[in-house]
Chains A and B, each alone.
Chain A
């Protein structure tokens, strides 16, 4: 008997998942989207460490600065910033000239000028490394020099002068994390609930599904707002709760699938072999459910991200200075007349991510759904 096994070298077949992966790989839109999602995730997770601005840092000199790939300050901004700093010194700007990266400034005042006034230049977001070059003998005139601090705001700044690039990336971290978190919670609850109802069947199933029906008939937004009211500003708790609300669809889908798998002849065949309930669950129900769950999960994550953005838009979501795409878009919508980039960049990130998630979801459905075979 054993030598029979040795002689027959088995040929490897293509498994269901291998097949699905091959089909997914052939789907260009899904693969591009998958790469894009990976890129956005990496950007949002590690990006903030490489952007030279913290998402919380406020630059009062750079309120609502338009995005630019060249460095700030622009020439006209130097004069404005200089004027502001000199005004704080209670002095008059007599003359200034720029020489490469450095400027030389001559100021005059009616009272004796204190050398410590130099700090006003350093405090400005525009200058750096300020030095007193010379002071007139009467102390009423002073020549200072300072380096112009080169700053990049690729995405511009918001209406209190925070760098939008770092904020957008931070927001992405939050939005993606929340999407994943609430998605996992919803899927976990939905799968357990739905599979239980579908597998046990009968009266239990009927009662469990009636409960789902009742929850369905309550306005969804009512739930969410009640949760916000209860959990207040703790967004982790809140999104666990949101996940706990979103499980209804998952439960219905999984139950339907579990019921239909149970009716499949291969499950009946297993029953006829005397396989235990546990074995049927393990070898038949769960592996066959997995496809649906994966598909639904990729569709649920964008739903949660939209929901989070929606709540943030209403001012019920993430709290300042923490941010999310919804918070940024909400601010952008309010400043649409004066600073449209505040809407455009976060909206682009949100929408493109949602698109990519959708394409991946569709691709997975095509790859996993044996109906089209």
Chain B
């Protein structure tokens, strides 16, 4: 297994390389540049700035420079937020986004998983229908509707939560964003869990376990649940990568200083280095969590062997 992990990490390098290359040239092909949008910069200042950041070099040279810097852990300066390097921006914002994302993910797995199991055990009864209805609602209503509704109800109408802001991570400030992030995930996890649990409970070996008089706990948890979590694991990997790297919507509506906004802002302002930084961060998270999924798979299912 350690050899497998090592090999997977090695094969991640070319993948990352392809993604970085693709992103680098795609964003450069886009019309405009970091200093020539409606800034009212005089041509001389613009030329100076571009020279300062090496943007007047031929593109292949810029690419080589960028790769070289990246290999040394240097993401470069942000063109639009000149006081910060891209590295600093992530050092500040990423912990915030990770806190919210991790809380939302945990909530989604616990609540969604439990709801799914309860629904599966009560298939076609009232409890099941309640979970299905909730899950349908949760996965249908987009987060940019959920977030303002939470603000409207909890913030304005009942005055229970602040409308937004980070406030150094005060608990009350986190509730709204975490709820918004987790509701759709809870819904999806609950649906997945219900489906895979129903299927698992129909399996022949569950009939065997019941025919042997095993306890209900053993039948449900030991024999059905272990197999039923496999689809949840596959889903949770990419979902974790997405949640932990921040959400534009939630961070905008609740005014959270995370990294979710970086990508959109940076792409629109042609803040090349910040775009690249975001792509690299997202790609690394995705690769790592895909690996985690594969490892968990092997842990749960003895038939999966990596060698």
Q: Do A and B interact?
A: yes
Q: Which residues in window 279-334 of A have CB below 8 A to B?
A: 302, 306, 309-310, 313-314, 316, 326, 329-330, 332-333
Contact A309–B136 (Cβ < 8 Å): no
A316–B144 Cα distance when bound, in Å, is 15
Residues of chain B with a CB closer than 8 A to A302's CB: 140
Contact B30–A226 (Cβ < 8 Å): yes
13 A-B pairs with CB atoms under 8 Å apart are A214-B18, A217-B286, A222-B263, A222-B279, A229-B30, A310-B142, A314-B248, A330-B144, A333-B253, A337-B156, A351-B141, A355-B136, A355-B140
A333–B151 Cα distance when bound, in Å, is 9
Contact A336–B140 (Cβ < 8 Å): no
A45–B197 Cα distance when bound, in Å, is 43
Interface magnitude class on chain A:
20 to 34
Q: Which residue of B lies closest to A219 (CB)?
A: B282
Write the nearest CB–CB distance from A369 to chain B, whole angstroms. Answer: 13
Residues of chain A with a CB closer than 8 A to B140's CB: 302, 351, 354-355, 358
A343 contacts the other chain (Cβ, under 8 Å)?
yes
Q: Which residue of B lies closest to A307 (CB)?
A: B142
A337–B145 Cα distance when bound, in Å, is 15
Residues of A within 8 A of B (CB): 214, 217-219, 221-222, 225-226, 229-230, 302, 306, 309-310, 313-314, 316, 326, 329-330, 332-333, 336-337, 340, 343, 347, 350-351, 354-355, 358-359
A221–B241 Cα distance when bound, in Å, is 14
Of B21-29, B80-88, B220-228, which binds chain A?
Answer: B21-29
**Number of contacting residues on B, CB 8 A?**
35
A333–B253 Cα distance when bound, in Å, is 8
Q: For chain B, what secondary structure do more than half of its interface residues adopt (helix, strand, loop), or is it mixed?
A: helix
Given the interface contacts A221-B263, A222-B279, does A229 sit within 8 Å of B268 by beta carbon?
yes
Pick from B26, B30, B144, B279: contact of A313, CB under 8 Å? B144
Residues of chain B with a CB closer than 8 A to A214's CB: 18
Given the interface contacts A222-B279, A340-B152, does A229 sit within 8 Å of B267 by beta carbon?
yes
Q: Which residue of A lies closest to B275 (CB)?
A: A222
Write the nearest CB–CB distance from A139 to chain B, whole angstroms. Answer: 52
Write the nearest CB–CB distance from B21 to chain A, whole angstroms. Answer: 11
Residues of chain A with a CB closer than 8 A to B151's CB: 333, 336
Write the nearest CB–CB distance from A264 to chain B, whole angstroms. Answer: 22
